[in-house]
């Protein structure tokens, strides 16, 4: 294919047919799609096998690519959950009548055309299409080459459901995976309203550096937990351990422990056995190293400068002893990726200061950073955790797939 | 200066001192600043003269650069207006207690550091600094070389007011105007949270193409008014004329008239004298040309293809005859810059269709597009009209100088 612009323009034209679909019809469409996924189970698995067969067994992405009956059922269940969420579009946000008689209403409307660039996981295809349909948006999906047969099969089923509901099937477009065409997508400001990269930091960095279409950045989480001198140290140990080990591969997992000097000698030996039980490798600054070495911590390294501000995504963390809240706050300001940050403290005033001063999407007192999640926060399925500040911050979910529009009713008014 | 990063980092550090200033103190600071501008009137005029003296009299920017007693008074009045607006930060947007006892609150918080790149107008310096202070943000200002003495003087006065209020004066930074340093500002993702370009389309395009910091685009307005076949043609004539001539140099002014074929023969001769009275030059498609030539319109040209989708910013417009609403909507979809679009019609159902289908920040029925304005819409002073869809759409004013933060209170909860 020489250009994807015709596909993008077709999506833009079709956006109107999904935007104008009544709310109940959008819900019915998603429920019908759930039934279709269940019914076409065998077809999906067969197409998925074509992709799996081309991937070596040694490839760590193979599990993410796999669709089986249970995973297809989970996708269908997720469609029914999304159908049950309230439509974020069509809400009146403000309304007033001006002295000259003009009625000025601000309302929420679908964004238009949502572009998503992602990697091997074919469930993203169904989740994104469903969230976009629910909120009245068209979408253009650029999945990974690895999953092309699976994605083509899924999008075929989605298009059939759109057609059945009387929606222009161009409202969900699967883009070819030719790498040269990504540049066209990233500069298609006339046709695409927002681009969301989902995947590796490398992908996100590439999109941010090259996109002229506005980007929602769902980036890395370099997350700190600060154990302050008034902390309940038993509680701090449980919070730090949970934040590190409960699911180390995700963005809200702990990367760095900061601990006040006055309690480091008591806290770190108390923490050591919990982390050692999960074979957590610790990169410690000199003071922490000496305390942990004294406690015979088995997997101990001297921290290098780049072990601070590092997202480990593994059973690894860095530890630093600080002189108090000012130093902790300064460290976080310097190294945080502005995702999730926590303090463990019994000093209410200091905790408030931490919550106010730390610049992150989610800030915690006396809890694990692992709670940063659209489902936990009551927003439903999320597309990612936004670490930027415009439009959406924290879990990026259905409620943010809208923009605003000023609608003005007059009777001949001029200025 | 070799690098502006130290200035940006200082602004980031100082952001906390303006963020944590109580609401009443922020208001008092702006009122104090108003008094200082009035008191330092002569100094400002003397510094402004240094800039004026370096600009040739023939330069059309000279009037925009000029500050006199009346304009300084207008700036002081604007400061008092901004002080009286409600603080958009510190609002609780949602709050819930989860089953595990966690209290999860979403609140509005200042963005952090706001970067603005602008050209000759020194009033921007005061307006932006005031809007940022009111909403608890630091700002970094990159004004034009032409206005450097004026801006340095104004920022000096602002810093004195900050100091007096106990705020770190680094919270408002004037950046050097060395062109080579712009690239540093546009890539300073660690220190700057948002960049707003104000000025020519060239400047905006450059910032959009080169910025890695998220940008609020306050772009061009290519605005259409569609005179539909059921329109009250007298009313349509007044609306079109007002939209074109009341202030042609601004972004909400009319650029293109679309008129239904069945009423073109009646409407265009009726419109002609009103536009001719303002010497409006018309670029007409063949059908409109023949009708207007028949009405002896004095300033008539055949439209070239690029006269559609063109922002005239002058006493000029293009006119096209269309076969009905579908053709009008398709034309607008293709050529609109998504700023302000209007229909003149007495068909309520068709008007609703227009309001729903036209993708623009502001859509009008039976009114002039000239009303798109922060002040008119009740938002107070605006930084510009956003033609993008993320974060802010339409007038970008005080209420949008905030982001969200999730604040979570726990008692040892783990996941």
* Cα gap B197→B205, rounded to integer Å: 9
When pLDDT is averaged across residues B361-381 and rounded to a whole number, the result is 94
Relative orientation angle of helices A23-39 and A69-84, to the nearest 10 degrees: 170
Contact assessment for residue A155 and residue A141, using Cβ atoms and an 8 Å cutoff: yes
Contact list, A394 vs chain B (CB under 8 Å): 106, 404-406
What mean pLDDT, rounded, does chain A reach? 95
Task: Encode A174-190: b = buried (16+ Cβ within 10 Å), e = exposed.
Answer: bbeeeeebbebbbebeb
3-state DSSP assignment of residue B323 = coil
Above 0.85 for ipTM, yes or no? yes
Task: Flag whether pLDDT at B244 surpasses 90.
Answer: yes
Do the Cβ atoms of B366 and A410 come within 8 Å?
A: yes
* Cα gap A347→A263, rounded to integer Å: 14
How far are the Cα atoms of B293, B350, B366, B367 from residue B238, in angstroms, in the given order? Answer: 21, 21, 10, 9
Handedness of CA B82, B86, B90, B93 (dihedral sign): negative
Q: Which fold would CATH assign to domain A223-371?
A: Aldehyde Dehydrogenase; Chain A, domain 2 (3.40.309)
DSSP string, A69-83: HHHHHHHHHHHHHHH
At CB < 8 A and 24+ separation, what contacts does B28-32 make?
B28/B165, B29/B133, B29/B161, B29/B162, B29/B164, B29/B165, B29/B167, B30/B79, B30/B80, B30/B82, B30/B83, B30/B130, B30/B133, B30/B134, B31/B79, B31/B80, B31/B83, B32/B161, B32/B164, B32/B165
Contact assessment for residue A218 and residue A386, using Cβ atoms and an 8 Å cutoff: yes
Do the Cβ atoms of A364 and B410 come within 8 Å?
A: yes
First to last CA, chain B: 50
Name residue B95's beta-bridge partners.
B105
Q: What is the pLDDT of residues A350-372, one digit of tens each?
A: 999 999 999 999 999 999 999 99
Which of B 204-223 lie inside 8 A of A, CB atoms?
Answer: 208-209, 212, 214-216
B225 touches chain A (CB under 8 A): no
pTM of the complete model: 0.90
Q: Strand (E) positions, B10-153? A: 92-97, 103-110, 113-117, 138-142
pLDDT, residue A159, reads: 98
Of B357, B362, B378, the CB nearest to A408: B362
Domain positions in chain A are 5-217+392-409, 223-371
Contact list, B196 vs chain A (CB under 8 Å): none
Contact list, B112 vs chain A (CB under 8 Å): 359, 389
B84 touches chain A (CB under 8 A): no
Name residue B202's beta-bridge partners.
none
Tell me which residue of B345, A251, B361 sits closest to B353, measured CA to CA: B345
pLDDT, residue B61, reads: 83
Tell me which residue of A216, A135, A246 sits closest to A385, measured CA to CA: A216
A12 touches chain B (CB under 8 A): yes
Tokens representing B52 are: 């004026």
Contact list, A368 vs chain B (CB under 8 Å): 410, 413-415
Task: Flag whether pLDDT at A322 surpasses 90.
Answer: yes
Contact list, B106 vs chain A (CB under 8 Å): 394
Listed range (A282-286, A318-322, B168-172, B207-211) with the worst mean pLDDT: B207-211
Contact assessment for residue A239 and residue B102, using Cβ atoms and an 8 Å cutoff: no
Q: Is B284 exposed, middle or buried (0-12, 13-18, 19+ CB in 10 A)?
A: buried
How far are the Cα atoms of B119, B293, B323 from residue B366, in angstroms, in the given order? Answer: 35, 27, 20
A97 touches chain B (CB under 8 A): no
pLDDT, residue B236, reads: 98
What mean pLDDT, rounded, does chain B reach? 95
What's the gap between Cα A322 and its chain centre?
Answer: 31
When pLDDT is averaged across residues B126-134 and rounded to a whole number, the result is 96
* Cα gap B339→B204, rounded to integer Å: 15
Tell me which residue of B275, B225, B281, B219 sits closest to B251, measured CA to CA: B219
Q: What is the pLDDT of residues A99-140, one digit of tens each?
A: 999 999 999 999 999 999 998 789 999 999 999 999 999 999
Q: Do domains B5-217+392-409 and B223-371 have the same CATH topology?
A: no
- Give the up-direction half-sphere exposure of residue B108: CA atoms within 13 A in the CB hemisphere: 18
Task: Flag whether pLDDT at A258 surpasses 90.
Answer: yes
Do the Cβ atoms of A414 and B112 come within 8 Å?
A: no
pLDDT, residue B208, reads: 86
B326 touches chain A (CB under 8 A): no
How far are the Cα atoms of A163, A237, B90, B335 from residue A363, in angstroms, in the given order? Answer: 44, 18, 15, 44
Reported as a pLDDT band with limits 50, 70 and 90, residue B115 is: very high
B193 touches chain A (CB under 8 A): yes
pLDDT, residue B286, reads: 98
B12 touches chain A (CB under 8 A): yes
First to last CA, chain A: 50
Q: 């769902």: which residue's tokens? A: A218
Relative orientation angle of helices B148-164 and B123-134, to the nearest 10 degrees: 30
* Cα gap B398→B384, rounded to integer Å: 11
- Give the up-direction half-sphere exposure of residue A242: CA atoms within 13 A in the CB hemisphere: 17
Q: What is the pLDDT of residues B54-111, one digit of tens each?
A: 999 988 788 889 999 999 999 999 999 999 999 999 999 999 999 999 999 999 999 9
Contacts of B241 (CB under 8 A, 6+ apart): A414, B271, B274, B275, B278
Nearest chain B CA: its distance from A242 CA (Å):
6
CA-only gyration radius of chain A, Å = 24
* Cα gap A351→B361, rounded to integer Å: 41
Contacts of B349 (CB under 8 A, 6+ apart): none
Contact list, A376 vs chain B (CB under 8 Å): 98, 104, 415
Return the DSSP state at B221.
-
Reported as a pLDDT band with limits 50, 70 and 90, residue A180 is: confident
Pairing of strands B223-227, B340-344: parallel
Task: Flag whether pLDDT at B1 surpasses 80.
Answer: no
B112 touches chain A (CB under 8 A): yes
pLDDT, residue A121, reads: 87
Q: Which fold would CATH assign to domain B5-217+392-409?
A: Aldehyde Dehydrogenase; Chain A, domain 1 (3.40.605)
Helix, strand, coil share (%) of chain A residues, nearest 5: 45, 20, 35
How far are the Cα atoms of A338, B114, B174, B209, B213 from residue B5, in angstroms, in the given order? Answer: 19, 14, 13, 21, 14
């Amino acid at each position: 294919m020489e250009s994807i612009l015709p596909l993008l323009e077709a999506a833009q034209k079709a956006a109107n047919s999904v935007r104008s679909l009544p709310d109940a019809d959008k819900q019915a469409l998603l429920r019908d799609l759930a039934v279709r996924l269940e019914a076409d189970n065998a077809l999906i698995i067969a197409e998925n096998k074509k992709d799996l067969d081309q991937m070596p067994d040694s490839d760590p992405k193979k599990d993410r690519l796999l669709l089986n009956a249970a995973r297809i059922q989970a996708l269908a269940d997720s469609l029914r959950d999304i159908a049950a969420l309230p439509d974020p579009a069509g809400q009146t946000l403000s309304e007033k009548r001006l002295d000259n008689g003009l009625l000025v209403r601000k309302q929420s409307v679908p964004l238009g055309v949502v572009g998503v660039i992602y990697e091997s996981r074919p469930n993203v295809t169904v989740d994104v299409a469903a969230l976009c349909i629910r909120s009245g948006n068209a979408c253009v999906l650029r999945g990974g080459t690895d999953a092309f047969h699976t994605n083509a099969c899924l999008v075929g089923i989605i298009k059939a459901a759109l057609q059945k509901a009387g929606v222009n099937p161009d409202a969900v477009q699967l883009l070819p995976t030719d790498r040269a065409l990504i540049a066209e997508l990233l500069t298609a400001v006339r046709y695409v309203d927002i681009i969301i990269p989902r995947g590796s930091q490398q992908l996100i960095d590439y999109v941010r550096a090259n996109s002229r279409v506005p980007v929602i950045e769902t980036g890395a989480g370099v997350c700190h937990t600060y154990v302050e001198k008034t902390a309940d140290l038993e509680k701090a140990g449980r919070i730090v351990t949970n934040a590190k080990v409960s699911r180390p591969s995700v963005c809200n997992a702990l990367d760095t422990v900061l601990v006040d000097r006055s309690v480091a000698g008591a806290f770190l030996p108390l923490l050591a056995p919990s982390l050692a039980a999960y074979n957590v490798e610790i990169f410690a600054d000199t003071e922490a190293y000496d305390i942990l070495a004294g406690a015979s911590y088995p997997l101990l390294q001297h921290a290098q400068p780049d072990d601070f501000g590092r997202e480990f995504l593994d059973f690894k963390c860095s530890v630093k002893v600080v002189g108090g809240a000012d130093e902790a706050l300064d460290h976080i300001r310097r190294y945080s990726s502005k995702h999730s940050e926590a303090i463990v403290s019994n000093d209410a005033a200091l905790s408030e200061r931490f919550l106010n001063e730390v610049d992150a999407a989610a800030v915690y007192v006396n809890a694990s950073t692992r709670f940063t999640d659209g489902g936990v926060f009551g927003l439903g399925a999320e597309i990612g955790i936004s670490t930027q500040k415009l439009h959406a911050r924290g879990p990026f979910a259905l409620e943010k797939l809208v923009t605003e529009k000023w609608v003005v009713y007059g009777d001949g008014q001029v200025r």
